[in-house]
Structure 1
Amino acid sequence: MRAFAVSEGSTRLSDLELPTPDPQDTEVLLRVTHSGVCHTDTHLRQGYYDLGSRGKLSMVDRGIPYPLVMGHEVVGVVEAVGPDADAEVGSTRLVYPWIGCGKCPACFDGRENACPQGRNLGVARPGGYAQKILVPHPRYLLDIGGLNPSWAATLACSGLTAYAATTKVLPLPPDAPVVVIGVGGVGLTAVATLKALGHREICAVDRAEANLSLARELGASSSVVSTTGNTNRDVLAATGGPAAAVIDFVNDNETATAAFDLLVKGGHMVQVGLFGGELTVPTALLALKMITIQGSFVGTLAELTEVVELAKQGRVPQIPVIDGRLDLDGVRGALDRLAAGGVPGRIVLKGS
């Protein structure tokens, strides 16, 4: 099978011919029909995360194997199953990629995304930038009957990440200001999810007016362009006062500091983005303002099931999807576009 992988120590993508996996035990082999492109993949391609004054967190040091076949937003058709796998050949399924070791307390508790020895597809195991993908168990496959498969693919990360982040700050009074920083693909989904869950006061913040326009269409009650140098002042003017919660899908030095400063007493900031940097917090203010700072990384299998059900009910508006081809040029071009910034929605690559 063909796969499109990045090599260790390089950002160069290669078109590889790899053996087609033969599913064993509970494994399921799917032909990839749709593969979403996530900003996390730009960091994986780069080879490290920026930790600010602590330097860089190397992907190699995290135990990620190379050559790395990325891609964790996958819809595919079941082609073959292991002898202990209960999956219907020919069925179309969405893949939950945030797979744990299956042996630790987090996994036993259903929080595989919190597993310290995660085996995430597209990260620690080959992902969806390939013709085929091997999934370890049918429980990670979700029926998306009736949904647009291009959009459904984005639910595995964009939709799930947004849902898990928004449910960390809700419930709140519907008119309590919630600020969403960074309204690319995931941030737009968060705006739509907040709206779908009944929240009314949603302020979108982004550098790109095109993204803010989409955010308003999806339910943002106000928006602020973050290139003026007076972002916090403009946000406070738009919301009428400090925010009850801030969800930061950028999470760099500038946005994390802004998020902290925007919060009301007792406010909640949820940090999602992986752009990198660090946050210096005045410890007295942290105590005096009783602020909660929480990290959020994707979500659980149960949460993805809830997201898919909301989508089937028509309660989550579809974010814009930009079609591409699942080939070397398609993967390379999509990652280059994401790294440059300003993609209005989500790029999804289609297999043959």
Structure 2
Amino acid sequence: MISYDVIECGQPLVKSERATPRPVGDQVLVRIEAAGVCHSDLHIWHGSYDLGHGKKLSMADRGLKLPLTMGHEIAGEVIAVGDAVQGVTVGKRYVVFPWHGCGECSVCKRGDENLCLAGKSMGVFQPGGYADHVLVSHARYLVDIGDMPPVQAAPYACSGLTTYSALKKIPPQVLRDEKLVLIGAGGLGLMAIGLAKAMGSTGVIVIEPDETKHAAAMQAGALAVFNPRQDGYLAQVRQAAGGAVWAVIDCVGSSQTVQAGIDMLTKGGQLVQIGLFGGHIDLPTPSMALRAITYQGTYVGNLRELQELMQLVKDKQLQSVPTTCMHFSKAFTALVALEEGKAVGRQILTPEGA
């Protein structure tokens, strides 16, 4: 098999060739037909997250070992299974749930493997999707995609799942009654617009500084898009939201975006942060209680939520976000484009390319 690996953080990916693994026991071998390139791959590739004030969160300290095949948005065809596998059919296509836990702790047994402190996420702590094949440790991590194209299905493993889980954290009545404010119109943001509508949102207002992405946000179904570099944009957002902002989902997660999101909340409002851009904020503690606001983080989602999401996509016949397909060998090109802000929607690595 061929993979494109991180050998040294911050350096170009390296093509590697090795024997294609053979599944045993509960393992499943998937021939990858689509692998999304996610913004969090940039942090993994760089080897750290920015904590603000000159501090970094080291991926090595979290257990990252090199070389690493990144990629956690994976869809493809099952071509071999171990002798203990049940419920998975060779020749069928699936999307892979990549957020594996230890499987033994109370968190995993509750079904929240994505929150396991000893996580074994694919593309982070075990080989992922920047390759032509991947070995999945257990058949339960595969979700049937039916006739859905793998290129559409792959992003649901991360950008779809993450935004779906974030939207579920907003009370359904608030989602139905109040306009949702969404910060960022990248792959996550565009995914969130469509899912919010499918989940009953009364409308989505987007904040995005890159005006080349405004058209994509409107095409995805946003009610309005505002540039945060324009004077008075916060007042314009509040007005578009009906005078009060009750719910914000921040797909960026920088010092500036989180602060702006908190500042625009009405009393009792809620901010859910998805993005991992990096930074630091200071919160006066009395205001949290006096304003009764909620600032909550969310980390991808669990297997049950991915299964729910894929059913929702099928039931509502949701359209895929804008995608750019390229050959697996262009994985590093895709990373660079993402870092430079040139990617609109999702970049997908495939065996055939564009």
Shorter-chain TM-score range: over 0.9
Answer yes or no: is 1:136 the counterpart of 2:124: no
Q: Supply the distance in 2 between the matched residues of 1:235 and 1:251 (Cα, whole angstroms).
A: 18
Q: What residue number does 1:36 align with?
A: 36
- Using the TM superposition, name which of 210-219 and 114-123 deviates more: 210-219
1:181-234 Cα distance to aligned partner (Å, 9 max, x none): 001111111111111112113211111223222222222222211222543233
Q: What residue number does 2:266 align with?
A: 264
SS for the counterpart of 1:45 is: helix
Q: What residue number does 1:283 align with?
A: 285
Answer yes or no: is 1:247 the counterpart of 2:249: yes
TM-score (ref. length: structure 1): 0.96
Q: What residue number does 1:314 align with?
A: 316
Alignment of 1:200-215 (within 5 A): 200-215=202-217
Q: What residue number does 1:155 align with?
A: 156
Q: What residue number does 2:275 align with?
A: 273
- CA 1:229–1:41 in 2, change beyond 3 Å: closer, same or farther? farther
Alignment of 1:1-352 (within 5 A): 1-53=1-53, 55-86=55-86, 87-173=88-174, 174-327=176-329, 330-352=330-352
- Using the TM superposition, name which of 8-17 and 242-251 deviates more: 8-17
SS for the counterpart of 2:246 is: strand
Alignment-mate amino acid for residue 139 of structure 1 = R
- CA 1:157–1:65 in 2, change beyond 3 Å: closer, same or farther? same
Q: Is the 8 A contact 2:36 2:71 kept in 1?
A: yes
- CA 1:315–1:261 in 2, change beyond 3 Å: closer, same or farther? farther
Alignment-mate amino acid for residue 26 of structure 1 = D
The offset of 1:12, in angstroms, is 2.2
Alignment-mate amino acid for residue 93 of structure 2 = T
Q: RMSD over aligned Cα, in angstroms?
A: 1.4
Q: Supply the distance in 1 between the matched residues of 2:271 and 2:37 (Cα, whole angstroms).
A: 26
SS for the counterpart of 1:169 is: coil
- Using the TM superposition, name which of 2-11 and 101-110 deviates more: 2-11
The offset of 1:342, in angstroms, is 4.3
- Using the TM superposition, name which of 107-116 and 208-217 deviates more: 208-217
SS for the counterpart of 1:293 is: strand
TM-score (ref. length: structure 2): 0.95
In structure 2, the gaps of 5 or more residues are none
SS for the counterpart of 1:313 is: helix
Aligned residues: 350
Alignment-mate amino acid for residue 129 of structure 1 = Y
Q: Supply the distance in 1 between the matched residues of 2:348 and 2:9 (Cα, whole angstroms).
A: 26
Alignment-mate amino acid for residue 197 of structure 1 = M
Aligned-pair identity (%) = 42
Q: Supply the distance in 2 between the matched residues of 1:74 and 1:319 (Cα, whole angstroms).
A: 16
Q: Would you identify which runs of 4 or more consecutive aligned residues in structure 1 move more than 3 Å?
A: none
Q: Is the 8 A contact 2:75 2:95 kept in 1?
A: yes
SS for the counterpart of 1:172 is: helix
The offset of 1:93, in angstroms, is 1.2
Alignment-mate amino acid for residue 23 of structure 1 = P
Q: Is the 8 A contact 1:74 1:95 kept in 2?
A: yes
Alignment-mate amino acid for residue 316 of structure 1 = L
- Using the TM superposition, name which of 49-58 and 295-304 deviates more: 49-58
- CA 1:175–1:217 in 2, change beyond 3 Å: closer, same or farther? farther
Q: Supply the distance in 2 between the matched residues of 1:342 and 1:227 (Cα, whole angstroms).
A: 19
Q: Is the 8 A contact 2:9 2:45 kept in 1?
A: no
Q: Supply the distance in 2 between the matched residues of 1:280 and 1:315 (Cα, whole angstroms).
A: 42
Alignment-mate amino acid for residue 3 of structure 2 = A
Q: Supply the distance in 1 between the matched residues of 2:298 and 2:31 (Cα, whole angstroms).
A: 30
In structure 1, the gaps of 5 or more residues are none
- Using the TM superposition, name which of 246-255 and 17-26 deviates more: 17-26
Q: Supply the distance in 2 between the matched residues of 1:344 and 1:194 (Cα, whole angstroms).
A: 19
